[in-house]
Amino acid sequence: MNDPITASAAGTWRLGELTVNRIGLGAMRLTGSAAFDLGAPSDRDVSRRVLRRALELGVNHIDTASFYFSRLRSANELINSALSPYPADLVIVTKVGPGRDPSGQWYTARPEQLRGQVEENLRQLGRDHLDVVNLRRMPSQSSIAEHFGALAELRDAGLIRHLGVSNVTAAQLAEARAVAPVVCVQNQFHVDADAGAGSGDDVLERCREHGIAFVPYFAIAGTGREQGAAARTAENAQVLAVAAAHGASAAQVRLAWTLRLGPHVLAIPGTGDPAHLEDNVAAGALRLTGADMDLLTARA
């Protein structure tokens, strides 16, 4: 039996001084089959097995948030219980800005509330500092300077090692960089997205120019967003053609396309299924050709 492909097949990138394999794990789906679902919780033992298996496969970058919870399940608590004491090379990235009360109701944190959100992540994860914290911009926010400044103060206080931003435009990225260094940007970006200014392509290029990690979310889910790939009405025909040519799955092609965008691009596919985890990690070894990329990038 062949040894499984590990996350090192995708290569590495640095978040500040922290080196991570370019294919990581998103924790959102560990809590249940549908994101932010307050119905049936996930199987706790299976979710914990996914986390441990991820580390066995070389994953050393996990993306999470204190607002990733379903009924009876918290992503941060699962990470803590499954992986603590944490390996020295494990980088846990969390995010603040949005919040959910115990009933699941969303709110947007004010700058002075961000410390409480950071401390909640610290408590749930059982850590005395956070490796990377992303400020997740909410749609109502045009400027992020005040919020990002509040996080910069928490970095200076030693609660956070590095800062990132999420769901931002190129102008908002520049606004954040004027306040403090930015090591990563998490934006929605996938094969199905329309190309052009304002789509995320411009942010991708700014990150390339400045050596900032670009970390797309919904890389597999695409237009299915929080509900996952199953919510799409049909798979992209170009994705299916490339998958057939390589003997790969559509999800693997989507991840390989993501990684092929540049050496600074990281993937954080989320899953609560051990088999899907192994398939996702294996996508790091799938090498798309220039012709494949031309076909996939010919977005209609």
The dihedral region occupied by 108, where left means phi > 0, alpha psi between -120 and 50, and beta the remainder, is beta
C-alpha to C-alpha distance for 11 and 20, rounded to whole angstroms: 9
3-state DSSP call for residue 107?
Answer: strand
Q: Which of 68, 86, 107, 217 is catalytic?
A: 68
Cβ distance 133 to 66 under 8 Å? no
What is the rounded CA–CA span in Å between residue 70 and residue 41?
Answer: 6
DSSP strands (E only) in the chain? 12-15, 18-21, 25-26, 61-63, 69-70, 73-74, 91-96, 98-100, 106-108, 130-136, 160-166, 184-188, 213-217
Residues 93 and 127: their CA atoms lie apart, in Å, by 12
57 to each of 25, 77, 274, how far by Cα in Å?
A: 11, 21, 11
Give the Cα separation of 145 and 42 in Å (integer). Answer: 37
DSSP, res 121: H
Catalytic residue flag (residue 217): no
The residues that bridge with 107 in the sheet, in sequence order, are: 99
Residues classed as catalytic: 68
